[in-house]
Structure 1
Amino acid sequence: MRTPAETALIERFEREKSSLPGAKDARAAAFARFEKAGLPGRRVESYHYTDIRNLMRSVAPEVPVEGELIHSQHVGVEGIPVVTFANGRLQSASGMIGAAKLEQLDAALLAGAAELGTALGAANDAIVDINTAFASKGAFISVPAGEKASLHLAFVDHHDSAFAVHSRVVVSVGAGAEVLLYESHEGPDNLPYQANKVVELLISEGAKVQHIRLNISGNKALALSTLAASLGADAELMSLGFTSGAETSRHQVFITYAGENAKLDLRGTTMIRGRQHADTTLVVDHAVPHGESRELFKTVVDGEAQGVFQGKIIVRPHAQKTDGQMASNALLLSDEAGMSNKPELEIFADDVVCAHGATCGALDENQLFYLMARGLPRADAEALLVEAFLDEALDAVTHEGLREALAERVHVWLSARKVA
């Protein structure tokens, strides 16, 4: 039996499919998959810990923005040009920002300049399928071969009643180019809203991308986000996601190796409290030989919050000489806090070096005693240990301003904990 949300999505697609911009075949195929599978619930293994079918009982309307929205000052980073998306729609006109060319997504799809799903590889996901079916707001960004570019994609969600946001950003990085891409996601507190956002990175041969994602969505939000990246030969991607917002969040990452000798450094930092639920799910698909991947995720859970990490490294039969290492570490700051860790390896080749590990525990009382014996109040001692726990993941950020901005988000979270 279909849920009201599933019925509403099916009816909406029937109404709108003829007017959606471009990518007709991709949209139809994606929606056919969704219509067959429905919203993912606990019976779907990858959604066992985050039951979207139950969480999304109804579908909120998408609403336009009147006037201009501006990102909060505390998410801006000096020296990185800002591109603002208001409820998913690119506010600026198409044009150049440094070496990067920006186009409205709908115009790029109609012109055939952009495609949907190229970076997803073999990934199959109902939430992404919904996004693909309805995608019209967002941007197509291209950086030519050999160029350098920095961009801050500021997603600002706002309305005075329940609403929904679907957005898609497709980024094409030319051979040998170097790109710094910073995403920030924010929205109103105390207002339920639904967000389904996808970023696709098409990284060509020898290109280098550093991607930072900050989620400080509103405290009643259902925030669903996806990063899909395709790595060409000798390409390098460092991606770090920082999550402290939303009532329920799920950030999923799909990485496909399309060329040999590509390198991936995938990191995550999650800080949640109260009754928040944060799910990080990733699939790293080594489809060619000589690939290297490193995954390191740190989660701090307080109150009655629940953290989830699901990570899978796949090594295809012909992907010899793959080197993949995955680790998930969680720190529980209360007796009621919970964490579900599920790292996996699927290896179909015999000449590989792969490993995974997961830890979950409380702060070390001996370390706390040492710090408190030297005059630190317990709250300050705990904060110092939490910061040290997270540093290993955050150290991968080489841009000084971004590193400071993320350190400030850690400080803000810990300061609120002291007050509470």
Structure 2
Amino acid sequence: MDKLMWVLGVLIFVVGLLFSIAWHELGHLSTAKLFGIRVPQYMVGFGRTIWSTKRGETEYGLKAIPFGGYIRMIGMFPPGADGRIKQRSSSPWRSMIEDARAASYEELRPGDEDRLFYTRKPWKRVIVMFAGPGMNLVLAVGMFLALFMGIGVPRSTLTVNEVNECVVPVGQQTDSCPAGAARTPANEAGLRAGDTILAFDGVRVHDYPQLQGLIRDSAGKHVAIEVRHRDGTPGTLAADIKTNTLAALDKDGVPIKDKTVTAGFLGISPATGVHHMTVAESFDEMGRMASHGVQSLAQLPGKVPGLWHAVVDGAPRAQDSPVGMVGAARLGGDVFAMDLPATQQLSFFVQMLAYMNFMLFLFNMLPLLPLDGGHIAGALWESVRRTAARVLRRPDPGPFDVARLMPLAYVVAGIFVCFTGLVMAADIVNPVRIN
């Protein structure tokens, strides 16, 4: 049964991935058709075509490898300097440029001269190229709102889940108290699992991060703790807050790896509940996730050595190790195979697909060919050149020839392919697991 649920989880993720790809390409397709650009093909996936149908002038299809997609637009690049679409050269770099230019015209038909991508104004080309990753962003925001406001997210509450028996520095916890270890303030004060803390040292508390901050700032103080006991009766307890070595927290309250601080210690573990965010809280959380996503993207080159050692030497995968589509699908299978409530499984899938769509947006917006951001940068540069020429009353420089950047695009694509292959290998031989 567990294997069946694992396979089901993988299939659900693949379906979500295919929808995300199709949604991305739909953004390109709809805006291209809106501006009169002819689109011969709309494909989800790469490799061999396993299904296709033609509607009007566009062939719609599904290919065998579900890790990408594309639409073909006529005239992605302008003709060469001599006005010809196709010419040959003995230079390998020049051949790359000419081959790319020729490929963008290979399905040119009579009457298509005014339906070429490069003939559209720069702002229209920006819209067409932004529409794909923009659709991923829209989908990510919609899914995050559904998760944060509808399904809800797990949050530490003010209810005590467990009272620690003794004061032990972080990283040295064991199943039993070491000899000579002092009892925790919570234990001495009489706090018990199921009690809910209402006020700490005269301050009314509203959430656990607030309470945690107050405790850490109260080292050495004698404080009153107002509680609602597990049987519903109110009460006030007194505690002498001790000093302990604890994990350092970042501005979002997340423990910082291998960093500790000396702070006040009460000795409780909070219970976890489901919190439904407001609209403001949801967008604030998305802002934090966006910042984290940008940082993660910038840190990708530094993850290569860890991935290499994970594949070659079998070294443990870091918690922040990059995960590709294969790894994400495996995580989806792992979650479905766990004995978890359906809402938690749904929450995981929604969060994973939403974050994947957001990272697809960020990745595709990098100003590098062959990514959408590279074409956007080319259109913006053309707009700047033409505007400057008009202001300075110089001849129109014409369209910017993005095809001249194709040698660089091949290098960038090669780097992406190698990195993707390394991540895929790590996801297969040494996958990230959920405990």
Shared fold per TM-score greater than 0.5? no
Q: Which has the higher strand share?
A: 1
Higher relative contact order at CA 8 Å, sep ≥6: structure 1 or structure 2?
A: 2
Q: Give the TM-score normalised by the residue count of structure 1.
A: 0.21
Q: Give the TM-score normalised by the residue count of structure 2.
A: 0.21
**Structure with greater Cα Rg:** 2
